[in-house]
Copies of this chain bind each other. A is one copy, B any other.
Amino acid sequence: MSTNKVRFLPDDITIAVESHETILDAAVRAGIAVKSSCGGAGTCSRCRVITKSGQARVNSTGKLTEEELARGYALACQTYPQSDMEIEIPETSRLAAHQVLTSQGQEFDQSITPTEPLFKKIKLQLLEPSLDDHVDDMSRLYSELNKMAEVDSPCIDLEIIQKLPQTVRKGNWKVTVSLADIKGRTEIVNIEPGWDYKKYYGLALDIGTTTVVAHLVDLESGESLGVEGTYNKQAVFGDDVISRIIYAVEHKKGLEQMQTTIITTINELIDNLVEGSHVDHNDIWYITCAANTTMTHLFLGIDPEYIRLEPYVPAFNSINPITAADLSIKANPKARIYCLPGIASYVGGDITAGVEVTGIDKQDDINLFIDVGTNGEMVLGNSEWLVACACSAGPAFEGGGIAYGMRAMDGAIEHIRVTPGTLDVYWETVGNKKPVGICGSGLIDCISTLREAGVIDRTGNFLPLPANERVQIIDGEKLFILVPAEESGTGTDITISQTDIKDLIRSKAAVFAGVQTMLKTVGLPVEAIERVYIAGGFGRYINLHDAINIGMFPDLPLERYKYIGNSSVKGAKMALLSKEARREAEKLAEKITYIELSIGNDFMEEFVSALFIPHTNVDLFPSINQACNPV
């Protein structure tokens, strides 16, 4: 075994790499976040790097084209340096602070008035002892606390009691007591002498598989002092929850690594937030967190292995609040962390949060909640019943697995139109930058417009067309050139291939099949849905007309759709500011009936029927003018 030096460009970071180590692992060690959607399996081709000099053993070249290979491209996860090397990591292969959905959607944007926050400070005037009233300091405190805040037999750490006699006397029997809710019980986490207390803050977290968002909240006013979002650094271990679980389970210290990574991600967000708001880390006293079940397990360092193995059982859905010190989160060490309760292995606390934000559990009408990400999670119901399911939509809509797919960051095509006949292409990109790829909303547009332009048939296959330079066969595969090399920001064509299109159809079919299976389970038609709430990452940019057009979302009047933004972080914030909301979330999680789609044939049948544009059964999409859509 030999050791070589690898110099990463343009960063100019040099690191010693053993000959059995991949360039991907070396880059991670060097602190460079390289995309690796498949977690290093060599199948996603996201980890493209360019060899500038040196020799390497190459295991596989994945989907790299002849042309790319000629230009020195290699997959970082499949390349083992055998000499000193210089490696360029192109911008497109890096995880970057991309557009993260931090806001909460129009109608839900108002700040929340704290009713009974999970943490609060209250001022108490204790009775001074005398020879006629020689009650101990602690009972003195407790009886006043009971009178003023209805707190009975609180928890309290020894170190606070140790200082109690000095504290109460220093404040001349006036104290400010910090109370944290630890689920059904109150803890005294701090006692300050006097009434001039320090301000106090909370943090609402949305830990997504892809992105992490944090709100810094003033717990007295309920205002968000700042919002920060970033990608989940765990992305270097794979794009979806399954690859994260596999990494955690199969690598020695994998779970520990996974946990440290998400905690580092969160701590960086906190650093940014407190710096921007001139807040002291130690004044953050409560953290609420909404995340999918796998993320919650990894965040807490809890073995996620059985989430992915039949019968798909999580270690827990609901857990008592733990402390910031338990997780090395950069807040007051005694700050409590509350994770919103999940429902099942693939429907987590982020969905509980979302449903609570929509309030569909309080309405008589039947409503549908959809969070479309890598997993499409959805909840259907009203005040009487609620059912939920998760369909593995796959990472296609988040840019995963699609050759030029990417997340909604600068240069991503978010809207696109193909003119029938000429096949001229009109596009719009995020940030009006030169296009470098295509994001989820663009991909939906793309399928819709290619179908409308007669480029593909109802099954997604390319139709025979008069010769046009837009349609080509490269490496034996048909593809459509969306942006030619000379117009793109990468210097290469941006294309969509037959495989990409089939992948996207599978994804949209999974979403629609999920909705249909739920409707079938409760015996209701599509029209019974009064309102559809769309949550999550790319939902905001979706052209609903196109999403319905391709048969992804049910064919309902557009006004029944409502985009609610990041309902996960919003739900976390609600719980932070109101014990009632926290209790509601718990009731909700218990109330929702999870439908396991892998049991029985219902979902599979629905899925197969949905593998058409828009659907095998066109009656389900009456608004779509089939006349315009020649087979």
Contact = CB atoms under 8 A, between A and B. Distances in A.
Contact of A315 (B165, B312, B344): B165
Interface string A59-79: 000000000000000000000
Given A137-B316, A138-B315, A599 B131 contact: yes
Interface secondary structure of A, over-half rule: loop
Nearest to A155: B320
A312 B129 CA distance: 9
A137 B319 contact: no
B303 A163 contact: yes
B303 A166 contact: yes
A313 B137 contact: yes
A183 interface: yes
Contact of A161 (B136, B155, B184, B300): B300
A207 B318 CA distance: 41
A302 B164 contact: yes
Given A161-B302, A185-B185, A300-B158, A315 B345 contact: no
A319 B161 contact: yes
Nearest to A259: B162
Nearest to A138: B316
A491 B569 CA distance: 84
Given A131-B311, A134-B344, A596-B131, A302 B162 contact: yes
A314 interface: yes
A320 B153 CA distance: 9
Contact of A164 (B163, B316, B596): B316
A138 B303 contact: no
A326 B310 CA distance: 42
A303 B166 CA distance: 8
Contact of A303 (B130, B162, B326): B162
Contacts of A310: 131
A480 interface: no
A385 interface: no
A452 to B, nearest CB: 41
B134 A312 contact: yes
Top 5 nearest A-B pairs (CB, nearest first) are: A138-B316, A165-B303, A136-B314, A131-B311, A129-B313
Given A130-B311, A162-B302, A164-B303, 14 more contacts: A131-B596, A134-B311, A135-B313, A136-B313, A137-B314, A137-B316, A138-B318, A139-B318, A158-B319, A161-B302, A161-B315, A162-B303, A164-B315, A166-B303
